[in-house]
Amino acid sequence: MPDSTPILHLQKLAGRRTFDKGEMLYFQEAVHRFSKDGMIISAIVQEIQEFNVQLSIIDDQYEGSCNCTDSEGFDFCKHCVAVALTDIARETDLKNLQEGDEVQRITAYIESMSESEVKSTLLKQVTADIDIAEQWVLFADVTNGKINKKVFVDLINKALPLREVWRQNRVKTYFESAIEKFNRLISVLNKLPPETAFELTQTALLRYNKALGKIKDDKGYRLKVEVALLQMLATSFRQLIWGDERKVAFLLSLYKQPFPNFPLPSIYKRFVKNEPDLKPLFLQKLMAHEAKFEQDKTSHLNLDNELTDNHRFVLEDLALYCAEEIELPNSNEIDSDTKKINRNETLGHLIQYQDKLASSLNDYIDLAELCIEHGRKDDAKAYIAKMESLELNYRQESKVLTLNAKLQESGEDIDAALDLHWRAYTRSFNAKDFLAILGLLQQSSEKTEQDTQYWFEKARTLLQEQLNDDDDEDPLFELYLACDQFEVAVDEALEASISSKLLHQIAVIGLEQQPELGFALYRRLIRLYPKNTNTQGYETAIELLVELKAALKTKKQHQAFEFLISELSFDFKQKRKFIVLLQSHFGL
């Protein structure tokens, strides 16, 4: 119910009983087709039948009439009350909008206009811009049933003119203009019959493919156009009144990649994943399609695996489907033997597809991890054995050792797994490998805090011996954080050679646990960024200063912060953009 003094006038005008009835109609949202032109209001009030209400506002007072028997054309009836209350609520909403953001103020302005004023203003705005006028002509023609495909084709060609473009600033301008035109065109395509929209979208994709043959786009400026057109293709495809057989036949044809200058992304994900009625037939046909390809039956790792694009895209989609099926949560019912068999079959298919797709050692590492995760130990051992027969670099060797360690974990041989994880860590210096050691120690009831301390000291000694003076010390400090040695990390970080990301992590911890050292670490971190003369570096420094200031708790800390601001403004006074940012955020 709107809270406004005009309500008191309504109560006096209509009488209490009539007002209460009108108020009830207002709450029931019985008022429809409300229109206000200046001080004249018209609306329909829907009860068992419709009643026409006309109100006028004279000297801030409502006068009205209704065609109901109570009003007889001049008395202020309950229907007049309901319409007046609607107007009061509308005016209240407009006042609130007028105090809001830009969009709300514009909304308030439009709402205050009469229908004729809105139409007149809209017409002026539309006809003032050639491109917008062109779009609205299409809206009008489509609404009137006049669909001229040639006009649409001409607009597609206009959006993607065929010319050589290789300078990146011009490539950027080319595709910015194209996406602007296509956004307008797609809004019209959405109003066309599905068959027509589908056909025209394919025409646009063919034109896009042809245009790419003449354009050198090194920075991906084209991608917005590509995504918009592919989304439109998927949208219009879903709306087609085709049988499933015909739809699946079309989708299978896409695996032949009909557009040579850009690859089509996952057909399954874009067209089928969320279509439960179409999915079974599609997957059946896709599996049959895959079975026709020549199978690689060699037993060694095929690192030079060569697949046609067609075969590779089919395998990727089948693998994606299988991975999704395996990750689906179980139902509330207890898994039946049939469900377990189906899940195992799906896992077997996934391994088969991933094996065919594998073309690098990392792919086979992923395959072995998949087998271990799902209890396929024999398959995992086979992959690991084949990888161990190859010449590996230290990172690959570390990963293979980790896989062996995971196999030992699954067999509950903790000591063997610890040894393998340690060997992996000695090659990688990666904190993840050491966290695997800590995880095993925590899981084992036979291991104590002394064991954890032993492994920490062992790793610390290794790193201190192996790292040279000029080496990045990240591995050592990552070890500190992994083992909750926060005090040591904060004490040693001030002079250490570590990455800015890690320094930030330690500074946050330090400010909480050792405020003075933490502040010093923030100071060191912040001073890194203005040295890089670029806007991103300046903005990062400001973000860190804002973060630091928000975390300060004592008067002494705030005084130190003010001194830091003064120090930065003096030391980096030549960096004018940085100084401007400092002034705008903290004052000088």
What local confidence, expressed as pLDDT, does residue 297 receive? 42
End-to-end CA distance of the chain: 51
Domain spans of the chain?
A: 6-121, 129-241, 529-586
Taking 50 as the pLDDT cut, the residues of the chain under it are: 1-3, 296-299, 331-334
Helices (H), 257-308: 267, 279-291
What local confidence, expressed as pLDDT, does residue 298 receive? 46
The answer to whether residues 172 and 219 touch, using CB atoms and an 8 Å cutoff, is yes
What local confidence, expressed as pLDDT, does residue 334 receive? 43
Instruction: State the burial class of residue 391 (Cβ atoms within 10 Å of its Cβ: 0-12, 13-18, 19+).
Output: exposed
* Dihedral in degrees, nearest 10, Cα atoms 501, 507, 510, 515: -170
Q: Is the dihedral of CA 158, 159, 162, 166 positive or negative?
A: positive
How remote is the C-alpha of 324 from its chain's centroid? Answer: 19
Query: Which DSSP symbol is given to 272?
Result: I
Closest CA to 510 of 490, 494, 525: 490
pTM: 0.68
Closest CA to 457 of 427, 479, 477: 479
Task: Give backbone dihedrals phi and psi of 32, rounded to 5 degrees, phi first.
Answer: -130, 165
In the chain, the largest separation of any two C-alpha atoms, in whole Å, equals: 102
The answer to whether residues 258 and 224 touch, using CB atoms and an 8 Å cutoff, is no
The answer to whether residues 101 and 112 touch, using CB atoms and an 8 Å cutoff, is no
What local confidence, expressed as pLDDT, does residue 74 receive? 65
Q: Residue 196 is which amino acid?
A: T
